[in-house]
């Protein structure tokens, strides 16, 4: 066995191949695999999927009972090494290699008669080809089948560092009788889905901030805000405002409004001596007038 000077591990049987831990090896291997295993795929190859006869029966039963039925799992297969032709009477995939709960199930926004079933394969799962797709309902019935362009799902040690999304498009009617709800505990958000959602959220937040800024800075505002230029003259209930500020009755008196006096000359209050009057009692002060 030839030992690699880079990783210390043995190379494939022939020493002319690069190190299997390196990217060149993976790319070369993928190229050879595509040449060997995709020879049966050309420009005339048709891909697609549909409900199996069992799926049609389940759908028709839901329509007759005015109920819904749930598609819960998606299945992947390698077709036994060849690209299979979908069969409506199939009861399973030719060679199943992986299955998992559905991550997303929705109606195609551009085609109301098409149902899209989606799953996400984690980076640590793989090591096989994907040539066929299937779906099962909550009772374990094989209800949909499809083929797809062959693709290889590598494992984490092979350099697979990201999730892979697989979608199966099914042409069917009465989609309203297919429950499109997925258990949220098994849903995985793909990076692209999160990026789209974050972008929409940023746009919505920006629109709200701009709208609030416009209301607060222009004359075309609503009554929830006091305009700065009015200096509180636009308050509809000044008494309540004074109470909320904790101001006493002194705030309503005309104090300190002219001549820097504590109170106006025209106001009478028995608690104070007017500056223009004499103090008639008190030793040493009789007949004297208070100075200003």
Q: What is the pLDDT along the chain (292 residues), one digit of tens a residue?
A: 343 444 444 444 443 334 444 433 333 334 334 444 444 565 666 777 888 999 999 989 988 988 888 889 999 999 999 999 999 999 999 999 999 999 888 888 888 878 888 988 888 889 999 999 999 999 999 999 999 889 899 888 877 667 888 888 887 777 666 655 544 554 555 556 677 778 888 888 888 877 776 655 555 556 667 777 777 777 777 788 777 777 777 666 655 555 555 555 555 666 666 655 555 555 555 555 555 5
- Which tokens go with 161? 């560092």
Q: Do 53 and 148 share a domain, yes or no?
A: yes
Integer Cα distance of 130 and 166 in angstroms: 10
Q: Do 64 and 175 share a domain, yes or no?
A: yes
* pLDDT for res 145: 92
Among 173, 192, 211, the domain boundary falls at 192
168 is a domain residue: yes
* pLDDT for res 142: 96
Phi, psi for residue 103 in degrees, rounded to 5? -90, -30
Q: Do 88 and 27 share a domain, yes or no?
A: no
67 is a domain residue: yes
The vertex-124 CA angle with 80 and 36, nearest 5°, equals 35
Q: Do 32 and 49 share a domain, yes or no?
A: no
Q: Do 25 and 156 share a domain, yes or no?
A: no
Among 192, 221, 246, the domain boundary falls at 192
251 is a domain residue: no
Helices (H), 149-190: none
Phi, psi for residue 28 in degrees, rounded to 5? -65, -45
81 is a domain residue: yes
Integer Cα distance of 223 and 208 in angstroms: 18
Q: Do 50 and 185 share a domain, yes or no?
A: yes
- Which tokens go with 122? 């984690």
CB neighbour list of residue 267: distance below 8 Å, 6 or more residues apart = 254
Distances 152 to 127, 130, 282 between C-alpha atoms, Å: 7, 6, 111
Q: Do 54 and 139 share a domain, yes or no?
A: yes
Q: Do 110 and 187 share a domain, yes or no?
A: yes
Beta bridge partners of 51: 144
* pLDDT for res 122: 87
Report which DSSP code applies to 195: H
Q: Do 29 and 101 share a domain, yes or no?
A: no
Q: Do 24 and 47 share a domain, yes or no?
A: no
124 is a domain residue: yes
Find the domain containing 132 and state its range.
43-192
* pLDDT for res 79: 95
Among 142, 173, 192, the domain boundary falls at 192
Is pTM beyond 0.85 here? no
* pLDDT for res 114: 82
Q: Do 61 and 170 share a domain, yes or no?
A: yes
Q: Do 126 and 77 share a domain, yes or no?
A: yes
How far does Cα 211 stand from its chain's mean position?
23
Number of domains in the chain: 2
C-alpha distance across the termini of the chain, in Å:
115
């Amino acid at each position: 066995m030839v030992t690699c000077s880079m990783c210390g591990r043995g190379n494939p049987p022939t020493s002319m191949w690069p190190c299997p831990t390196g990217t060149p090896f993976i790319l070369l291997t993928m190229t050879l695999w595509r040449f060997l295993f995709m020879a049966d795929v050309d420009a005339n190859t048709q891909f697609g999927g549909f409900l199996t006869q069992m799926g049609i029966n389940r759908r028709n039963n839901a329509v007759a009972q005015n109920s819904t039925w749930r598609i819960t799992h998606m299945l992947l297969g390698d077709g036994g090494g060849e690209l299979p032709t979908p069969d409506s009477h199939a009861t399973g995939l030719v060679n199943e290699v992986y299955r998992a709960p559905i991550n997303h199930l929705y109606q195609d926004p551009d085609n109301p008669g098409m149902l899209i079933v989606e799953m996400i394969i984690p980076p640590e799962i793989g090591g096989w080809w994907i040539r066929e797709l299937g779906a099962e309902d909550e009772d374990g019935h094989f209800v949909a089948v499809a083929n797809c362009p062959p693709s290889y799902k590598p494992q984490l040690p092979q350099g697979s560092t990201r999730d892979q999304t697989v979608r199966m498009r099914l042409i069917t009617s009465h989609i309203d009788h297919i429950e499109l709800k997925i258990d949220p505990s098994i849903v995985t958000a793909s990076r692209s889905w999160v990026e789209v959602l974050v972008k929409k959220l940023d746009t919505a937040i920006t629109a709200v901030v701009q709208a609030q800024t416009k209301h607060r800075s222009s004359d075309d505002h609503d009554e929830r805000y006091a305009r700065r230029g009015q200096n509180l003259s636009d308050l509809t209930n000044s008494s309540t405002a004074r109470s909320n500020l904790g101001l006493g009755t002194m705030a309503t008196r005309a104090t300190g409004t002219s001549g820097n006096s504590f109170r106006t000359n025209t106001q009478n209050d028995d608690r104070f001596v007017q500056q223009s009057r004499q103090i008639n009692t008190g030793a040493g002060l009789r007949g004297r007038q208070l100075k200003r």
